[in-house]
Structure 1
Amino acid sequence: MPVEIRVGPPTITISQGRTFMVTTQGGEIEPNTDQGVYSMDTRFLSYYKIYLNREPLKRINASQLTFYAARYHLTNKDAHTQSGTFAKDTLGVTINRIISEGVHEDIEIANYTGVHIKFILELAMRSDFSDLFEVKSGDIVQRGEEQTTWYAKERRLRTTYDNKDFHRAIDYCVLNDVVVGYANGRVYFDIELQPNEHWGTCCEMILEHGQKIQRPDSRICSRSHTHHGKTSSGSVDKQGQKEIHYDFDERQARWRERCTAITTSNNDLQRMYDQAIEDMGALRIYDMDVSDEAWVPAAGVPWFVTLFGRDSLTVSYQNMAVAPGFARGALQRLAEHQAKERSDWHDAQPGKIMHELRVGELSYFNVIPFNPYYGTADATILYLIVLSEAYRWTGDVQLLTEFREVADKCLDWIDHYGDLDGDGFQEYKTFSSVGYPNMSWKDAEYAVVYADGTQVKQPKGTCELQGYVYDAKTRMAEAFRVLGDEARAKALEQQAQVLKERFNMIFWMEDEGCYAFGLDPEKKQITSVASNTGQCLWSGIAEPEKAKRVAKRLLQKDMYSGWGIRTLSYKNPSYNPLAYQLGAIWPQDNGIIAAGFKRYGLTDEANKVIRGVFDAIERFDAYRPPEVFAGVQREGANDFPILYPGGANIPQAWATGSIFHMVRTMLGLRADAPNKRLYVWPTLPDWLPDMELHHLRVGQCLIDLRFWREGSVSRWTVLDRRAAKHGTHLAKEDMIEVEDDPERLNALT
């Protein structure tokens, strides 16, 4: 029997909304790292250490309990106190943390020494109030004034930061009536315990930004705030406890009820999918919800807990068959930030959809242009694709009506700003002095390289951008036809067809059997073999014979690692499997490529990519895919994937969403809610013999489906159809009909 291997980061992260905490496995925050307590793009706590009589504690073990809670078990080293000496491993120290808008922590100590003891527990804390961008860059500059005050009567340590009218503060409050003081930068507790006696207290971190104060939910505390913190039994004092009530659990339960569920005999996939549902709910930014039916996802925890353009839209697309509310929320919030005028500092032009919104100190004072920043070449195009996809899954023509003006401005941006030189192709270039050198989804500074490994200068246009435009204009032709504008629809269809023909002539590399990475400033091909070429199949811009050759090329060993398709061929001199986008593997990228393979009838190829990525996810802690992982070649069945050394977001929204996207690809789900149809084209691999979908929402209908393999053939049947709104009845003509996808025959031929 092979040994089960689990791969995970060396830290523990808990989060809720836009507040998160990153610690060591021992629950501490080490100096000179990116650990800490963060909210609103500010690090409120940058150092946290626990001491017993000035000696650090030892970690026994620890775990994240749920996305918002963690538990740490610690013990002592040999301790020398005024009352005597007690041996190592004779005190049990447990810290429970729950994060909401602030952080609540319960500290409990059990005396297993067998004797009466006295000691001092110390908590050392410091705050640097650094902007998140400074933390990640490692270049932290002190700008404002900090002040720390201990309020003894209130048992409260307050540290404030002020830079002109920019204000941040953190209060560390001891809630129980215990003996506590503050000296030498440490909150200390004088503790005296009899054998087998327990001591405990509740504490909370209250975060303050501007005029807003973020407190932990008072209902999450399990102790009475007036209790003296001691018990003489081996368990927590029941008289000092309150019933625990978590709003987050109720919200998460409501979220799960709304999502499409699966059941399958493949236990790994079952656990992977269920964890993805949990993580996607955890990534909701609740204070950005548009309504109870329209939500916004954070891009990732811990570093991308904010509104993004490309990420929010990609996640919305991935979630369409699971939770279409993300699309409604993303479309609304991004429309609110659509650029109205040109601002070179922000890389904004009229009609452009934003890239990233930040509210930290650097953005507040406009030191960086992230309030918001528009340095993305694809978000504006993806907005149109997601608008169309949301219409196809919901059948809600009001979406097209409501966002028609936004869509018009997006199309205008594509033609006049996305196409910088009027040649019909998309190119990008930063106009900001601190702008991104790369603005496609591969936005690392070094990501776009020639075949000799040298960097490509701006302006440049990557191949997948052209495919996105083809798809967007094809979809918008459908939308304008629905809205009664036939002339606009025909014009968009013609533009899309011309683009497809020119793209297949100019971007194709006959010798490599795939599309060029892009075009450089001289309109010459960037002849590197990169994963971008696979995304051209997802958009449908590839000609069928070329699509087959692209799939064959991407599955050669220099591109396919066994865990998925690399971002760049290992034959390229700049290849580095440990680098962000020079050979690493991205689950979201692979999900898009697999969907593209399936679109052209390349089902075995699609399933091979999916199997590789799923094999990797099975080996990550708790079945949670990181944003990116190393592209090192897989070596046998007992191997495991290597984490990206730069520290990837876990969970990360579009990595998590890739699981939904790949399941949808294997089942071949394609919605046409306006015409009351759901098309299916299941191609289950041999490792997935069966699957059921429960309460899949299409239009106003919930559908349960069963899929299974008979030999090498995939079958399906409808188990149930009903109204999505509880207690209502759908007329027969409004019920969604499920059919074999007629496009399957086109793809196979």
Structure 2
Amino acid sequence: MTDTATALAAFPAPGAPSDENLPQYHIEAQHSLIERPLRSLKHGDAFAVLDSYGDIGVFPGPEGLYFQDTRFLSRLQLTVEGQRPMLLGSVIQDDNGALSVDLTTPDIRLDANDETSIPRELIALERTKFLFRGTCYDRIGLRNYDTRPRHLRLRVSFDADFRDLFEVRGSNRPRQGERTVAVTGEDEVTFRYAGLDGRARTTRLCFGPRPARIAEEFAEFEVRLAPGGRASVFVRVVCESTQADQGAGRLAAVGSALPPTSPVYPKPLRAQVHPKGEGMTFALAYRDARRDLRAATANITTIESSNDQFNEAACRSTADLYMLATRTPHGIYPYAGIPWYSTVFGRDGIITAMMALWIDPEIARGVLRYLAATQAKTVDPAADAQPGKVLHETRNGEMAILGEVPFRLYYGTIDATPLFVMLAGQYFEQTGDRATIEAIWPNITAALAWIDTYGDRDGDGFVEYARETEKGLANQGWKDSHDSIFHADGRMAQGPIALCEVQGYVYAAKRGAAKLAAELGHAALSERLKAEADRLRTAFDKAFFLEELGTYALALDGDKRPCAVRSSNAGHALFTGIALPERAARVAEALMSKDGFSGWGVRTIAQGEARYNPMSYHNGSIWPHDNALCALGLARYGYKREAARIFEGQHGAALYQEGRRLPELFCGFVQRKQRGPTNYPVACSPQAWAAVAPFAFLAACLGLELRHDRNRIRFRDPILPGFLDEVLIRNLKLGGSRVDLLLHRHGADVTVNVLKRRGDAQVVLLK
């Protein structure tokens, strides 16, 4: 990456500034996350950010073991005879189930006697780490390849700071709770934190075999290895968070309004430790974790192609999606990303579910049910909430519970509510799951009422946003940086702001809700929604389309003046269908121009605009999910070649990423020969809506449509990009039908062969 990108000091999280130089809720960064490769693991509400050794906190950074938005372990380092082992290899397993690290001892000189020295590369260390049910398991296997016995001192050093995730991101706090640590057994150390929020948080480190020495900051083992001999050391880190007696009454009232977000599995208990020791406990947990992963993906649609590199990328996408997917009492919900957004986000979850709908509709079902259960019911300015509004974000950390940040249950998003209705329509169109739609129908109608009342602040037919308090987010679309909505001369737009893409989401929401209303017997409501959608489409074209730009304005400000800026937001107008057919060609041209398209993807803001900066978070960068929606939009209007170009650019970018993983975003510099894209210094990776983007790209190029009401799987004018000759789709679901399909490219044409069919769904190729 470039030096200028590395030098970035901070980037805006979902937040807004008190001034342009200090973004609100920013993420502080003095180092790029890509300077040292990091490894991420996740299960349920726990996630770990580790260095390549599997250690935590050796250098400053976001490393840690986190549980419910708190860092439960801030340091964990393995040393042998006081020295760090030499790294041979480090890789997250293909299914994200565990981290595997190969190490060896360096040259170790214990004293002046060469007989006691250990030359390097004689002792192999194999480290395996994984998360399961709020616990981090760590096995350190040793093997002696020497012809003589060896005796080693192995030390594991540790600490737990219990810092809130927002503190790790850079927020300062005037006060914190009380932390204590004690050796609580011959093989156990316990850290406790009495939070100001009345919660007791505990980190318990359990070791096996029994350490030779144990203290509040380390455990030391004497390891004797015969020639060719093996040994193992086990470290188990248990994270627990419980309501303390102090302040329980005060917090119980607040907590009663919270959604049951905890994963549906039992908490780790001492009784679950196997009587044969930590080795057997590790083995059984590892077995159960693997079974859990296999069960999560047992019935999904899978993709295999003639391109091995794309197959690797597709497997990585699947693994990332299901690592981020968390079981809740309402179903599966994909958490947004690691490290900063490992929680429920309304917008992210909905868009992820939309793009994954043809792969696994159960994700959409879980997202709809969860967001219905957490839909706002009252007016609460501090949470930017009004009746019918859909959740933006929820946090369970101390700062959120205390109100130091507003995100415990926060509704400051303008787009999640129409997107929720839009997803409901798409979900029913594909699945015909009437029971789910009937169950959430009151939530759909409440969301529609919010759109027309609180969403449309001035009654002009457009949905606008403005935060209710200074703590809330100033910009509330997906481009929520403090400087992301501006006029052609660079001046910041003043609210209330009507975003281009949000009007499209409202249009699609009303069209989809009209079909649902008709299905449920509400004919008058159906006709009213269709008429409202048609009026919105006409008004949108008149207010937003700018002839001089040949595309739609980024937004309208509070005085209804258009922000005459070329942006990727216009691609969302194609995605939702609000764009008039006669506008599509010019919008496509603007998106794919040299200013809009870098070669790797469509930029968020076109090159040449006043605030264009290819290293910024939202003003010239490239986001895979944004490009996926643009590609789907282009394909909707018949611009398949342009969609395929975006697919090719994004696939090419993935080839330069470790593990073929598309990150949250990368920089918008132009594509150059024999060089990969420039990475964004602190992008989340994995990120849910980036993970599913390859599935959306493929669906766009294939023109894939699944209609339950017609019992039809249709490929509308399909094409395949140049790097794919064949695509095999297995277990594609429509209602009770399952089909396996082989698509083959013959020059510019694509054929579809049904290899296996269960059920009576029709497969149609339409040219």
The two structures have a TM-score, normalised by structure 2, of: 0.87
1:644 counterpart (666, 680, 686): 680
- Residue 56 and residue 275 in structure 1: after superposition, are their counterparts in 2 closer, same or farther (change >3 A)? closer
SS in 1 for 2:117: strand
- Per-residue CA distance 1:472-507 (angstroms, 9 max, x = gap): 111111111112222211111111111111111111
- Per-residue CA distance 1:135-193 (angstroms, 9 max, x = gap): 1125366511111101343x10111000252211111111224523226x322223444
Q: What is the correspondence of 1:282-321 to structure 2 with a 5 Å cutoff?
A: 282-286=323-327, 288-290=328-330, 294-321=331-358
- Residue 334 and residue 70 in structure 1: after superposition, are their counterparts in 2 closer, same or farther (change >3 A)? same
**In the aligned structure 2, how far is the partner of 1:541 from the partner of 1:226?**
59
For the 8 Å contact 1:595–1:665, the answer to whether it is kept is yes
1:49 is aligned to: 77
For the 8 Å contact 1:252–1:278, the answer to whether it is kept is no
1:363 is aligned to: 400
Deviation at 1:110, TM superposition (A): 3.5
Residue 143 of structure 1 aligns to which amino acid in structure 2?
Answer: Q
1:739 aligns with 2:767: no
2:67 counterpart (39, 42, 54): 39
Q: What is the correspondence of 1:123-202 to structure 2 with a 5 Å cutoff?
A: 123-137=156-170, 139=172, 143-153=176-186, 155-164=187-196, 165-182=198-215, 185-202=217-234
For the 8 Å contact 1:178–1:201, the answer to whether it is kept is no
Deviation at 1:271, TM superposition (A): 2.3
**In the aligned structure 2, how far is the partner of 1:241 from the partner of 1:578?**
43
- Residue 220 and residue 172 in structure 1: after superposition, are their counterparts in 2 closer, same or farther (change >3 A)? closer
RMSD: 2.5
- Residue 545 and residue 151 in structure 1: after superposition, are their counterparts in 2 closer, same or farther (change >3 A)? same
1:273 is aligned to: 314
For the 8 Å contact 2:207–2:278, the answer to whether it is kept is no
Worse-matched range after superposition: 549-558 or 257-266: 257-266
Paired-residue identity, % = 30
Deviation at 1:414, TM superposition (A): 0.5
For the 8 Å contact 2:557–2:563, the answer to whether it is kept is yes
2:531 is aligned to: 494
Deviation at 1:243, TM superposition (A): 7.3
**In the aligned structure 2, how far is the partner of 1:649 from the partner of 1:190?**
39
Worse-matched range after superposition: 323-332 or 265-274: 265-274
- Per-residue CA distance 1:18-67 (angstroms, 9 max, x = gap): 21111111222225311100111110011222333333333232111242
For the 8 Å contact 1:57–1:76, the answer to whether it is kept is yes
1:225 is aligned to: 277
- Per-residue CA distance 1:87-130 (angstroms, 9 max, x = gap): 34443333221211201111233445655554432222111101
**In the aligned structure 1, how far is the partner of 2:337 from the partner of 2:49?**
13
- Residue 439 and residue 712 in structure 1: after superposition, are their counterparts in 2 closer, same or farther (change >3 A)? same
**In the aligned structure 2, how far is the partner of 1:587 from the partner of 1:517?**
19
SS in 2 for 1:173: strand
Worse-matched range after superposition: 575-584 or 82-91: 82-91
Worse-matched range after superposition: 693-702 or 72-81: 72-81
1:461 aligns with 2:523: no
2:726 is aligned to: 690
Residue 85 of structure 1 aligns to which amino acid in structure 2?
Answer: S
**In the aligned structure 2, how far is the partner of 1:146 from the partner of 1:464?**
47
For the 8 Å contact 2:337–2:688, the answer to whether it is kept is yes
2:7 is aligned to: none
2:237 is aligned to: 205
For the 8 Å contact 2:553–2:566, the answer to whether it is kept is yes
1:73 is aligned to: 102
**In the aligned structure 1, how far is the partner of 2:199 from the partner of 2:329?**
26
SS in 2 for 1:680: strand
1:29 is aligned to: 56
1:480 is aligned to: 517
Worse-matched range after superposition: 422-431 or 187-196: 187-196
Deviation at 1:9, TM superposition (A): 6.6
1:661 aligns with 2:696: yes
2:9 is aligned to: none
Deviation at 1:283, TM superposition (A): 1.8
- Per-residue CA distance 1:575-594 (angstroms, 9 max, x = gap): 22222111111111111101
For the 8 Å contact 1:307–1:356, the answer to whether it is kept is yes
For the 8 Å contact 1:628–1:644, the answer to whether it is kept is yes
1:351 aligns with 2:384: no
SS in 1 for 2:387: coil
For the 8 Å contact 1:587–1:655, the answer to whether it is kept is yes
Deviation at 1:366, TM superposition (A): 2.1
1:109 aligns with 2:136: no
For the 8 Å contact 2:89–2:103, the answer to whether it is kept is yes
1:604 aligns with 2:641: yes
SS in 2 for 1:403: helix
Count of aligned positions: 705
Residue 25 of structure 1 aligns to which amino acid in structure 2?
Answer: S
2:131 is aligned to: 99
The two structures have a TM-score, normalised by structure 1, of: 0.89
- Residue 601 and residue 546 in structure 1: after superposition, are their counterparts in 2 closer, same or farther (change >3 A)? same
For the 8 Å contact 2:62–2:339, the answer to whether it is kept is no
- Residue 243 and residue 297 in structure 1: after superposition, are their counterparts in 2 closer, same or farther (change >3 A)? closer
For the 8 Å contact 2:211–2:219, the answer to whether it is kept is no
**In the aligned structure 1, how far is the partner of 2:230 from the partner of 2:175?**
42
2:297 counterpart (239, 253, 256): 256
For the 8 Å contact 2:144–2:228, the answer to whether it is kept is yes
Q: Which runs of 5+ in 1 are unaligned?
A: 1-6, 228-238, 724-734, 745-749
**In the aligned structure 2, how far is the partner of 1:554 from the partner of 1:375?**
29
**In the aligned structure 1, how far is the partner of 2:599 from the partner of 2:653?**
9
- Residue 15 and residue 446 in structure 1: after superposition, are their counterparts in 2 closer, same or farther (change >3 A)? same
SS in 2 for 1:414: helix
